[in-house]
Amino acid sequence: MTGTTAEWEYAPAPESTKVEIKPQYGLFIDGAFRPAKAGKTFETINPANESVLSTIAQAEAIDVNLAVASARRALKGWRRAPALERAKYLYRIARRIQERARELAVLETMDNGKPIRETRDEDIPLAAAHFFHHAGWCDKLRWACPTADGSVPEPVGVCGQIIPWNFPLLMAAWKIAPALACGNTVVLKPAETTSLTALRLAEILQEVDLPPGVVNIITGAGETGRELVAHGDVDKIAFTGSTEVGRAIASTVAGTKKRLTLELGGKSPNIIFADAAIDQAVEGVVSAIWANQGQVCCAGSRLIVEESVADEVIEKLRLRMRSLRVGDPLDKNTDVGAINSRAQLTRIERYIKIGVDEGAQHHEVCDAALPAKGFWCRPCFFTGVQPAHTIAREEIFGPVLVVMTFRTPDEAVARANNTQYGLSAGIWTSRGSKAYEVARQIKAGVIWCNTFNQFDPAAPFGGYRESGFGREGGRSGLSAYLA
Ligand code: NAP
Ligand code: MG
């Protein structure tokens, strides 16, 4: 091989930005868009160039009341609707997401900063898949969650759902699809920096004639979420986001009759044994930590490599990292797009500095120029990392990998479990018995063998310990929406 892949030239392949973005969006309450009562708004920007995309209504307590009241009114009809009627709506939503897939992918990439390759091939198809999957469950709930007397289980009621900015439409689908399938109604709050695809989904709900009030979408910042959590007429809160906010929500909900599921952060291990197919494992590391700029709750952010192959893995990782293209998220060649916000970039940079200050070695090899505007962070990894280092313990939520080594499977397991989180793990080995033995001992909600970041609506997802509780997807996910 002469030179490195970094020297390859690519012709730019930008996706067209011709999608409709309205200059203003209202709140989606009772099947219609309306301004916030107090008239407050906020701007959403494209993190790849800092341009303002749209102005969005900011919901306050009075708007949250209206949304919850609308969901309460709609509950009566929706929970009693024939199961196959509910299924038809979910199918229609799924089909409409597919039909508008390009538009949704472009919108998501512009609002979030993630590469179009990911929104086009992963976020949007998976969002549609969640609605398809749950459409199929509507008339089978009796088998999803059997009741003592064989009757159809009842929905929980009005569900308040709060989602983060890292997979905006996908998280909305994860939350809305099972809730509706079970006969619940919803008030959803997207993250402040990424409301646009949720609002486009609201348009889709209008297009498919979903009865008014079954889904309400209230935009705003953390305060809007707090109002929703504290609201007296909400039966369940489903939250995905940081462990810190998750803790605050748990204490607000404690002592009330509200049900709660929390999907929080992680610091997931990715273990490579010497007998693994090393090239495949390195590809797995790339997708585990550099997909979505590492802003993934289940990112494989701690690489734990068997000592005898550590040099080889690190060398191959360095070479592979060189070939990652960082830049315009709308370019189809781009591997690593923009960080979602300035605040998140600052947080990542702070952790990189802490890693260097604590004595770990920082490796960053992509040297291509970055755009002048926007929030950018080159992928990197740290070696010489000790388990006590801050960067080995805390969730960074960025394209920053820490590499540690082990000598025996027991040591690998001990390192992997040395965390307050328990969301996911990866195991790379060519021996099935070893994969099984190690997986059995790792405390994580999702464990991938010889792959990473694979999602399927039928497979439950969720964590242990500070990664939260409750499962989303599959039968376990449905039980969280049934009384
Ligand atoms: P976050 O603050 O927990 O936000 C998640 C959602 O909760 C957003 O919609 C947020 O609104 C809302 N929110 C904020 N404060 C709230 C409160 N007191 N009550 C109710 N809702 C509230 O997470 P973030 O700011 O997006 O990111 C911070 C860190 O969270 C990340 O760096 C990462 O460590 C972690 N995170 C984890 C996941 C995951 O999937 N597990 C996803 C994203 C982030 P606004 O965004 O509008 O403020
Ligand atoms: Mg934005």
What is the 24 CA–ligand 2 centroid distance (Å)?
14
Active site residue 366: no
CB 263 less than 6 A from any atom of ligand 1: yes
pLDDT band at 9 (very low <50, low <70, confident <90, very high): confident
Question: Can you tell me the distance from the alpha carbon of 53 to that of 43, in angstroms, rounded to the nearest whole number?
Answer: 7
Ligand 1 pocket member 221 (CB < 6 A): yes
Report the atom number in ligand 1 closest to the C-alpha of 347: 32
When the pLDDT of each residue in the chain is averaged and rounded to a whole number, the result is 96
Give the start-to-end residue ranges of the domains of the chain: 24-264+464-479, 269-449
Predicted pLDDT of residue 369? 84
By percentage, how much of the chain surpasses pLDDT 90?
Answer: 95
Mean pLDDT of 163-179: 98
Ligand 1: nearest atom to the Cα of 192:
47
Atom 6 (ligand 1) nearest CA: 164
CB under 8 Å to 248, separation ≥6 — which residues? none
Other beta carbons less than 10 A from residue 432's beta carbon? 10
Percentage of the chain exceeding pLDDT 70: 98
Confidence tier at 2 by pLDDT (50, 70, 90): very low
Among 402, 380, 377, 405, residue whose Cα is nearest residue 391: 402
pLDDT digits (tens, 9 = 90+) for 196-246: 999 999 999 999 999 999 999 999 999 999 999 999 999 999 999 999 999
Question: Any idea which of 155-164, 186-195, 471-480 has the lowest mean pLDDT?
Answer: 471-480
pLDDT of residue 10: 78
Output Rg (C-alpha) for the chain, integer angstroms: 22
Q: Cα torsion at 455, 94, 340, 374 (round to 10°)?
A: 120
Could you tell me if the CB of 225 is within 6 A of ligand 1?
Answer: yes
For the stretch 255-280, pLDDT in tens is: 999 999 999 999 999 999 999 999 99
- In CATH, what number does 24-264+464-479 get? 3.40.605.10
Band (pLDDT 50/70/90 cuts) for residue 7 is low
Q: Is the CB of 265 under 6 A from ligand 1?
A: yes
Whether 7 sits among the annotated catalytic residues: the reply is: no
Q: What is the arithmetic mean of pLDDT over 415-437?
A: 97
pTM of the model: 0.96
What is the mean pLDDT of the segment spanning 427-454? 97
Q: Minimal CA–CA distance to 462: which of 447, 478, 446, 448? A: 446
The pLDDT confidence band at residue 466, using thresholds 50, 70 and 90, is very high
Instruction: Check residue 446 and give its pLDDT.
Output: 97
* 189 C-beta closer than 6 A to ligand 1: yes
Cα distances from 388 to residues 359, 391, 467, in angstroms, run 12, 8, 20
63 lines ligand 1 (CB under 6 A): no
pLDDT band per the 50, 70, 90 thresholds, residue 8 = low
SS3 annotation, the chain: CCCCHHHCCCCCCECCCCCCCCCEECEEECCEEECCCCCCEEEEECCCCCCEEEEEECCCHHHHHHHHHHHHHHHHHHHHCCHHHHHHHHHHHHHHHHHCHHHHHHHHHHHHCCCHHHHHHHHHHHHHHHHHHHHHHHHHHHHHCCCCCCCCCCECCEEEEECCCCCHHHHHHHHHHHHHHCCCEEEEECCCCCCHHHHHHHHHHHHCCCCCCCEEECCCCHHHHHHHHHCCCCCEEEEECCHHHHHHHHHHHCCCCCEEEEECCCCCEEEECCCCCHHHHHHHHHHHHHHHHHCCCCCCCEEEEEHHHHHHHHHHHHHHHHCCCECCCCECCCCECCCCCHHHHHHHHHHHHHHHHCCCEEECCCCCCCCCCCCCCCCEEEECCCCCCHHHHCCCCCCEEEEEEECCHHHHHHHHHCCCCCCEEEEECCCHHHHHHHHHHCCCCEEEECCCCCCCCCCCECCCHHHEECCECHHHHHHCCEC
For the record, the structure tokens of 129 come out as 């898949």
Rounded to an integer, the average pLDDT of 372-401 is: 97
Choosing from 43, 242, 346 the residue with most ligand 1 atoms within 8 A of its CB, the one to mutate for a pocket test is 242
Query: For a pocket test of ligand 1, which of 27, 42, 162, 375 has the largest count of ligand atoms closer than 8 A to its C-beta?
Result: 162
Q: How confident is the model at residue 391 (pLDDT cuts 50, 70, 90)?
A: very high
What is the pLDDT at residue 405?
98
| Alpha carbons 232 and 246: distance in angstroms, whole number | 19
Hey, whose CA ends up nearest to atom 22 of ligand 1? 222
- pLDDT value at position 414? 98
Taking CA atoms only, the protein residue closest to ligand 1 atom 12 is 222
pLDDT of residue 368: 75
Q: How far apart are the CA of 48 and the centre of ligand 1, in A?
A: 20
How many CB atoms within 10 Å of residue 56? 23
Task: Give the tens place of pLDDT for each residue, 14-70.
Answer: 999 999 999 999 999 999 999 999 999 999 999 999 999 999 999 999 999 999 999
The tens digit of pLDDT for each residue in 325-381 reads: 999 999 999 999 999 999 999 999 999 999 999 999 999 987 778 899 999 999 999
Measured CA to CA in angstroms, residue 128 lies from 134, 173, 371, 415, 438 at distances of 10, 8, 33, 37, 34
Query: Cα 320 from chain centroid?
Result: 25
For the cut 90, the answer to whether the pLDDT of residue 467 exceeds it is yes
Of the residues 159, 297, 377, 380, only one is catalytic, namely 297
Q: How close is the Cα of 420 to the center of ligand 2, in Å?
A: 31
pLDDT digits (tens, 9 = 90+) for 281-326: 999 999 999 999 999 999 999 999 999 999 999 999 999 999 999 9
Fold classified for 269-449: Aldehyde Dehydrogenase; Chain A, domain 2 (3.40.309)
pLDDT(5) > 70:
no
The pLDDT value recorded for residue 367 is 73
